[in-house]
C-alpha cells in the first residue's frame, strides 16, 4: 500500500488509520474481504460489474499456463 493513505473520520476531524492484519481483527481474506467486495462491487468504483471470481485460466504470451489466480475480476461498464 505504498503511497496510499487511509483515515478515520469523525465529527472532530480525520486521523491516519492504523494498519492492521486481517487475522488480528478476526477477518479472513477469501471468506470475509473477498466476499464483501463481491457483494459490494461499488467500493471498486461506480459502474463496476463482477465477471468472475477465483479466475485461474491465464496464459503467458508463450502459451504456458499462469499459476497466479485473480480473486475477483470485474469490468467497468461505464467505459
- The reported pLDDT for the residue numbered 30 is 85
Percentage of the chain surpassing pLDDT 90?
47
Q: For residue 67, tell me if it sits in a domain.
A: yes
3-state helix, strand, coil in the chain (%, to 5): 25, 30, 45
Indicate whether 1 belongs to any domain. Answer: no
Residue 13 lies in a domain: yes
* pLDDT above 90: residue 3: no
Does 12 map to a domain? yes
The three cell numbers locating residue 17: 488509520
30 touches 18 (CB < 8 A): no
Q: Count CB-CB contacts under 10 A for residue 70.
A: 15
38 falls within a domain: yes
Q: Does residue 46 form part of some domain? A: yes
Domain membership flag for residue 2: no
Task: Sort strands 7-10 and 13-16 into parallel, antiparallel or unpaired.
Answer: antiparallel
pLDDT tens-digit series, residues 36-71: 999 999 998 889 999 999 998 888 889 888 888 889
| C-alpha cell, 46 | 461506480
Q: pTM for this one?
A: 0.61
pLDDT value at position 29?
A: 86
Q: What's the total number of domains in the chain? A: 1
Print the domain residue range for 69.
7-76
Residue 55 covered by a domain: yes
Percentage of the chain modeled with pLDDT above 70: 97
Amino acid at each position: 500500500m505504498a503511497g496510499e493513505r487511509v483515515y478515520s473520520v469523525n465529527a472532530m476531524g480525520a486521523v491516519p488509520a492504523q494498519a492492521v492484519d486481517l487475522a488480528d481483527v478476526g477477518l479472513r481474506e477469501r471468506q470475509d474481504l473477498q466476499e464483501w467486495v463481491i457483494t459490494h462491487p461499488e467500493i471498486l468504483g461506480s459502474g463496476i460489474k463482477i465477471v468472475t471470481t477465483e479466475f485461474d485460466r491465464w496464459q503467458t504470451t508463450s502459451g504456458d499456463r499462469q499459476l497466479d489466480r485473480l480473486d475477483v475480476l470485474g469490468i467497468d461498464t461505464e467505459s
